[in-house]
Amino acid sequence: MKPESKAVHWGDRQRKGEDYVPATTPIYTATTYSYDSMEDLDRVLGGEQEGPSYTRFGNPTRAGLEELVRELEGGSYAAACASGMAAMHLAMVAALMDRPKRVLAADALYATTPTMLLNIFGPMGVETSFVDICDLEAVEAAVKECKPGAIVMETVSNPLLRVGQVDKIAAIARAAGAVLIVDSTFTTPLMVRPLELGAGIVVHSATKYLAGHGDVLGGVIIADKEHQEAVRSLAKTLGPVMSPFECYLTMRGIKTLAVRVEKQCSNACRVASWLAAHPRVERVYFTGDPGHPDAATIRRLFPANLLGAMVSFDLKGAGREEVFRFMDSFKMIVRATSLGDVHTGASYPAISSHRELSAKHRQRLGIGDGLVRFSIGIEAVEDILADVEQALA
């Protein structure tokens, strides 16, 4: 079954032995579950028999979502979490349980990830080093120097949209005894499946493309066979679980993931090309650009017709005041800090995703004061362009 069909059907209709089966997974709000006999309950609590007992351990709605995402990513186990950062935290803890307490992280990440590494894991004795994840020689040298227990990267970096060679970095990690953790939020399982490329753990902010409608806060962690028991045990013990209602909405959103992402990617190509030709735009960052610095990697790892729906660009000579004026002029595009929704959203990384970094640090990463990030939606592309054009006028 192809991913487009799995997205529609997988995880539903799991109840067996009933005279009827709901066509789609319902919302199970119960916190506890009773069985006909104590023997059955004992087997369920002991993991010898499938079934829910307490919602921190498992919930039928959450189980449907977890099975769906696990299948889409080709993993061995998935845990749905209360947020993307909860999923990333769980991934870090699982990876470092029996490995050196050292992390090698991409220098270009969603800013809250390094903040968590430095401010939460740092005081607990975890050392973090940073590297240009797109420079394989630099990655190899850093691995030899710091001997990490885990390497952390994104399939597409936020917000400058660089693309590292996941398969080759995974090989480097495994040779060093480290686990590669990949945040694959920007690409979804339709574009890149990092576990198939050798990663050990994949993380998604389900808030973004998976749910896709701006009404869910959630995350998902997917583990390979080696790490499934660590993730399963930690999820049960720590309890960072997604609520049944959010699980239901995320499953509902994933049913249209393929059609949404196809339209978003198509629209993004048009928007990126239009922006590149506009006199007020200094530079465009887009994974579908033939001149992208990682174009060879993108051609190798991405499907030809799905090159991403994020577009970032530098307004020529602009600072905070000019960017604010530009974004305040939108009539349809939504000024918001998230991404992956059906609507086109615009964010200003300097005050949103990378607000926690100093201005000097942002400049070192190439995130200037004139940088704007678009998450392209499914609207008529002509309307998206018309809104941008009048805002730039």
DSSP state of 225: G
User: How far is C-alpha 89 from the geometric centre of its chain's CA atoms?
Assistant: 13
Query: Of 265-274, 319-328, 353-362, which gets the smallest average pLDDT?
Result: 353-362
The confidence score (pLDDT) of residue 353 equals: 76
Strands (DSSP E) along the chain, which ranges? Answer: 77-81, 102-106, 127-131, 150-154, 179-183, 201-205, 219-223, 281-285, 310-315, 334-335, 345-347, 371-375
Whether the per-residue pLDDT at 367 is higher than 80: the answer is yes
Q: What's the pLDDT at 68?
A: 97
Helices vs. strands in the chain: H and E counts, helices first: 15, 12
Report residue 176 as tokens: 């060093």
Model pLDDT, residue 13? 83
- Give pLDDT tens digits for 131-189: 999 999 999 999 999 999 999 999 999 999 999 999 999 999 999 999 999 999 999 99
Residue 14 above 80 pLDDT? no
Distances (CA, A) of 235 to 89, 229, 365: 11, 10, 34
Sequence-ordered list of residues with C-beta below 8 angstroms from that of 129, at least 6 positions apart, any chain? 102, 103, 104, 105, 142, 145, 146, 148
- The model's confidence at residue 226, banded by pLDDT at 50, 70 and 90, is very high
* pLDDT-based confidence at residue 355 (cuts at 50, 70, 90): confident
Cα three-residue angle 51-81-13, rounded to 5 degrees: 40
Mean pLDDT of the chain: 95
Helix-strand-coil split of the chain, %, nearest 5: 40, 15, 45
Q: Which CATH architecture has domain 257-392?
A: Alpha-Beta Complex (3.90)
Q: What percent of the chain is modeled with pLDDT above 90?
A: 90
Whether 210 contacts 234, CB under 8 Å: no
Q: What amino acid is encoded at 273 in this protein?
A: S
pLDDT tens for 333-344 read 999 889 999 999
DSSP structure class, residue 30: -
Per-residue pLDDT reduced to its tens digit, 289-320: 999 999 999 999 999 999 999 999 999 999 99
DSSP three-state, residue 183: strand
Q: Tell me: the pLDDT tens digits for 41-50?
A: 999 999 899 8
Which residue ranges make up each domain of the chain? 3-254, 257-392
pTM: 0.95
Give the C-alpha separation, 110 to 76, whole Å: 26
Instruction: Write phi, then psi, for 315 (nearest 5 degrees).
Output: -75, 130
Whole-angstrom distance, CA of residue 106 vs CA of residue 103 = 10
DSSP state of 219: E
At 18, the pLDDT band (50, 70, 90 cuts) reads low
Question: In whole angstroms, what is the distance from residue 203 CA to residue 342 CA?
Answer: 21
For residue 15, the model assigns a pLDDT of 64
- Residue 237 CA, chain-centre distance (Å), reads 23
CATH class of 3-254: alpha beta
Considering only residues 370 and 19, tell me which one the structure prediction assigns the higher pLDDT.
370
Which of 202, 206, 144, 210 has the alpha carbon at shortest distance from 178? 144
CA angle 85, 90, 91 (to 5 degrees): 95
Handedness of CA 259, 84, 154, 375 (dihedral sign): positive
pLDDT of the residue at 357 = 74
Q: Do domains 3-254 and 257-392 have the same CATH topology?
A: no
Q: For residue range 36-82, what is the model confidence (pLDDT) as tens digits?
A: 999 999 999 998 998 999 999 999 999 999 999 999 999 999 999 99
Q: Which sign, positive or negative, has the C-alpha torsion 44, 45, 48, 50?
A: positive
Compute the distance between CA of residue 138 and CA of residue 303 in angstroms, rounded to an integer: 27
Q: What is the percent of the chain with per-residue pLDDT over 70, rounded to a whole number? A: 99
- At residue 92, does pLDDT exceed 70? yes
